[in-house]
Amino acid sequence: MSSRKYSKDLIDGPNQAASRSMLRGVGFTTEDFSKPLVGVASTGAKVTPCNMHLNKLSEVVEDSVNSSGGKGVLFNTITVSDGISMGTQGMKYSLVSREVIADSIETVVGCLGYDGLITIGGCDKNMPGCLIGMARLNRPSIFIYGGSIKPSKENTDYVTVSEKVGEFSKGTIDEEELIHFEEISVEGPGSCGGMYTANTMASAIEALGMSLPGSSSQDAVSSSKNQDCIDAGTAIMHLLDKDIKPSDIMTKEAFENAITIVIALGGSTNAVLHLLAMAHSIGVKLSLDDFTEIGKRTPVLADLKPFGSHYMSELNASGGIQPLMKTLLEKELLNGDCITVTGNTLRENLVDIPSYPNNEIIKDFENPIKKDSHLRILYGNLAKDGAVAKITGKEGVSFEGKAKVFNSEEEGVDAILNNQINEGDVVVIRYEGPKGGPGMREMLKPTSAIMGLGLGDKVAFITDGRFSGGTHGFVVGHISPEAADGGLIALIENGDSILIDANINQLTLKVDEGEIEKRKSNWSNPTKIPEKGVLSKYAKSVQSASLGAITD
């Protein structure tokens, strides 16, 4: 099969002379018209440290495609910053950006007939956005991760600053000390440095087979990351030659590998949302229950932040995630027959990978952080369609308390910072789901405040919104149906008893059915969909978090 499957319709023959003239205007030569065209989609922008270096990397990728016999064509798509917008109305656009990115990549490549595609992402939403776009197009493709940032010299990062805000509110540090951590904790390019959502998704994508081996565990500023970009040119030409497409790689078994890696690394709850959406985009049937089944046999092995002690850069220095993948393969927890973007199987990619020099970060199977998954899919009258909990065991595995109810993140944060939350409370923040937000904001600001106040193991937190990968504590998100859809979370009242039980994976509002029916008859939806704009489009098209908050 010709590796110029799409571009030939755009540029071959006398009738396409006008198209070729436009391409000559951007630097194409006559020889370039006989080469496969490879789109290089960069999410580079100076709006966030995660992506500030990606345009430079994309130029390396473009050159590598050109030197490998293809014609690279560089284009950009957007990115936004969760970290900067966290706790504000701007955060409503974060999950929305995943769809905008996917749509824009599909639009450019579909319009301009590129035969292959390489995407480069750094922040957590643009990675699944890239993968969804690649899956829809289903032509030979590779994802490149921009890499992780290193912690400060005082071993702090962005999440440290978020939690220091809670300490400041409690009065244990003064403003001068808070500003000190603000000034030193984030420096230079790279994604947030723990096993937060960016590093979680990068690791999942590598395990899925859609990035080159090692791509997820390279520092943003490193020779290995630069080499990752150089190697992409040869790799995409091989995929084009063999016509290996995302549908050949992104199989059900490959998604199961990705879930396994997310659990073993103690990854973010956002991975559930994004992997469901990515699977939908390629036509793979993946459900919440797959996370439960895989979680029964997969231990948490990585002592990584937010609930552990180490940063991703430390794991990178010890060999990254590949030795872990090899161990999981040997334990028959990964499917080694899955094809990857190297053109080889996962098993073939891991043949020569050495073991870790020590087990300081990745624990032995005999001494895991947790013997089964920290990602718990909960059901019950409060979550008939499911909810996602992040429970490492450090907080305990069950919690029963009295509800403190808030109809927005802002209301909840104000109460927390004004010391209105007490030991034994279950903080409920609702109308923050995909439709109700709209946009399903991350709740890092309230959960960090809870941790900073020293209440992390003394209160629970539930929401129809979601959590940052930096969140830890006794938290349950993605509650479905959401409040805006009339889910039971909309009917909780202050003082109601709520039980969270990760032993039996249940989330229960302990109110009798007669009282629930009475409340339901008096309920009206307080949310208002914006009349126009991207949030309006999103609210009208987005589906349940239990399906991945998909829009198609």
219, 150 contact by CB (below 8 A): yes
Structure tokens at 85: 């917008």
CB neighbours (10 Å) of residue 85? 18
Q: Give residue for tokens 């595609």.
A: 117
Task: Write the CA distances from 509 to 114, 270, 500, integer angstroms.
Answer: 52, 24, 9
DSSP string of 519-531? Answer: HHHH--------S
Marked catalytic residue, from 217, 468, 480, 544? 468
34, 70 contact by CB (below 8 A): no
Task: List, in order, residues 6 or more apart from 399 with CB less than 8 Å away.
Answer: 426, 460, 474, 499, 500
Is residue 468 annotated as a catalytic residue, yes or no?
yes
Residue 116 has φ and ψ, to the nearest 5°, of -140, 170
Nearest by Cα to 282 from 179, 165, 132:
132
Task: Write the CA distances from 552 to 281, 287, 498, 517, integer angstroms.
Answer: 8, 16, 34, 33
**How long is the chain?**
552
d(CA 527, CA 485) in angstroms, rounded, equals 10
d(CA 121, CA 100) in angstroms, rounded, equals 14
Type of residue found at 426: V
Please calculate the CA angle 251-364-124 and round it to the nearest 5 degrees: 45
What DSSP element (H or E) covers 130? helix 126-137
Residue 39: beta bridge partners? 73, 117
Q: Give residue for tokens 């994976």.
A: 505
Structure tokens at 283: 């036509």
145, 259 contact by CB (below 8 A): no
Q: 3-state secondary structure string, 250-285?
A: CCHHHHHHHHHHHHHCCCCCHHHHHHHHHHHHHCCC
Residue 167 has φ and ψ, to the nearest 5°, of -65, -40
Give the up-direction half-sphere exposure of residue 52: CA atoms within 13 A in the CB hemisphere. Answer: 16
Residue 133 Cα to chain centre, angstroms: 15
Residue 546 has φ and ψ, to the nearest 5°, of -65, -15
Active-site annotation, residues: 468
